[in-house]
Structure 1
Amino acid sequence: MSQKNAQHPALKEGNSAVITGGASGIGFAAAKAFIDLGMNVMIADMKSEKLKAAGAELAVLAEKKGVKALAQAADVSDLSALEELECAAVQAFGKVHVLMNNAGIQPATDILGKQMPWDRIIDVNLLGVINGTRIFTPGMIAHGEPALIINTGSKQGITTPPGNPAYNVSKAGVKAFTEALQHDLRNRENCKVEAHLLIPGFVFTPLTAGGRTEKPEGAWTPEQTVDFMLKSLEAGDFYILCPDGEVDRKTDEKRMMWAMGDIVENRPPLSRWHPDYHHAFIDFLSGTPKDLKD
């Protein structure tokens, strides 16, 4: 299915979208897709030449479609910057129908490591989503038209693998917050705003490139991820669990089930990476019945 066939009522010609982290990667791909649907778009990102270039490219695409594309510098960890972003979007478009809280960073962290990267990750990845939602949502509810809030999470917020605890904590928080948000919205009388959790797979973006200039074979492009997102929104999926070229949905599901099984089976935390349970996890993944502990 092409992007043009997306049927969610918020994704229609003449409506407007705001995307944080919109200067590159998934956010920029989403901006292009929304413009292609005939929507007005405002991207927000840190002030940089990258944001300026992205805004210029989107403006050309928007002009061809007869819509608006604007770029605004905003640090989502700054509450006042998010308030200014909401004011700018309403002033430019009148109404916001789609809010995509997509901005994220991933500097390395350790449990007992330096404080600064912990603070920065939580401020951007988690509080940026929470505060962006809390600032934009009242107006989106008030205008009474179908609307979407799409929060970008991560599989690492569900399976929480070793390696970057601050990032895992931030994305686990995004999952919990977005679940609570959707529960709240669906219980508001006459509310036409929905929340959805985007859970990307392995996507080749500036965040994940790690110095590489060529896309790894197993990675999806941002455009593939956004196309999958649009199809999932049309289907009404809350959890937009994206596969990629290396991991299919069945494998993702088993990894997540194993992670929850640590609680249910009273295993050690992160037992998937525990030497006493590693082989049991491999057997579980392959479907071979075995005792949970070798």
Structure 2
Amino acid sequence: MTADVWLPIPAEEIDGLPAPGDSGLAYRFWDGGAEFPADPADCAFYVVPYMKGPQIAQRPLARMASVRVVQTLSAGTDQIAPGLGVLAPGVRLCNAKGVHEASTAELALTLVLASLRGVPRFVRGQDAEEWRSGFYPALADKSVLIVGYGSIGSAVEDRLAAFECARVDRVARSARTSARGPVHALSELPSLLPRADVVVLCTPLTEQTRHLVDAGFLARMKDGALLVNVARGPVVDTKALLAEVEGGRLTAALDVTDPEPLPSGHPLWHAPGVLITPHVGGSTSAFLPRARRLIAGQLTRFAAGEAVENVVAVTG
């Protein structure tokens, strides 16, 4: 008796997969195309196509009567989680912890440094053949607040260590102690925001964090502070952010936006003090090797009857 595994990466490109004959697994390649590779009812392990959007991610779920594990290749699960209600109880949803930390943290630091040091202005100056010298803010001696202190937030702090920040505050859903110091609860944000020069958003998108960064949140940020979003666009209320950046009180660096992709003509494109990258936090050369290792490891455990890792929810 075989069990189908749907993969968005061809099985022959993933080293370390359990051998089909020995494991009882049959590998089916599906990266979101119009035609399913086999009957979804036979799928036991579904690896969600990466960055294809919720409509594609959720499309086969209603027919996956035998699925036992749904594995994303993204750190967040907001693209697939709303569709899990059609599945039988006991299906495990796993995220891609370990895949995106390095790349996303790299981009977060890139956005911080580029924004503070005026890199977008220099690029425009180069295009215009203008020498735009002057004094610009440094990251050194700044206070940084990381909102969403999971594995990505921790990786951001690892990279901040070399930049001589005055302090780093950490916020997660609930308070705890980390190896680097205390992690504050979300409820403590009102007292933490006024002392932060840079606020980095790494939190997953949930009902609790949707529009977490609203007019009240932004109003508590100090004048001249920088907001960096490498989380999800809807964590930020775009209208409220526009009001602050257009008034010149805050600046922002955004790898994710709401709406996304950001349409032509949207005021965020040309808002003063805003740097935008097109959701490329995890889209680097580091992605595929780490994604392949994750898939191989999870399927090795699955085939052996062992517990899979990175479980963030269980249906039912």
Task: Please state which band the TM-score falls in when normalised by the shorter chain.
Answer: 0.3 to 0.5
TM-score, length basis structure 1: 0.35
Larger-Rg structure: 2
Give the number of the structure whose residues are more often helix, by fraction. Answer: 1
- Higher normalized contact order (CA 8 Å, seq sep 6+, divided by chain length): 2
Instruction: Please identify which structure carries the higher strand content.
Output: 2
Normalised TM-score (structure 2): 0.33
